[in-house]
Structure 1
Amino acid sequence: MGIKVDKAKCTGCGRCAEQCPGDVIRLDPVTKLPINKYKNDCWYCGVCEIECPHGAAQMEFPCLIV
């Protein structure tokens, strides 16, 4: 889970990766789009979504079954 990116809106600025306090987002070297490098380590804090100047990043929360 973690970050979901709208590829049509993302410019590859890297702000989400720079601001991620868990350091789990990386820019793909080929596409220049953000990827969840360490999906299981995401804190679900939402900083990537808040800091994205283009509204391309969205938090994707895990499905919890109780």
Structure 2
Amino acid sequence: MDEFLTEMSEILEDDVTMSDALGQFESWDSLASLSVMAMADSRFGVRLVPQELNPAMTLDQLYALILAKKAS
């Protein structure tokens, strides 16, 4: 989880916690979404598509999505 938080902090250009809402960050946009997809692939071996990111409202939900995809 620490690696995820570090990566998300870089992507969102801010300090983050797992309970943070993605929409609260000014930098959460389509480019950030692409960066998350690239990070999930390179760091966790998980391929995500944009539609899978839409339901994730918090960093915790996003991390749970990555873990669920990794487990499948």
TM-score normalised according to structure 1 size: 0.36
Higher strand share: 1
Higher helix share: 2
TM-score normalised according to structure 2 size: 0.35
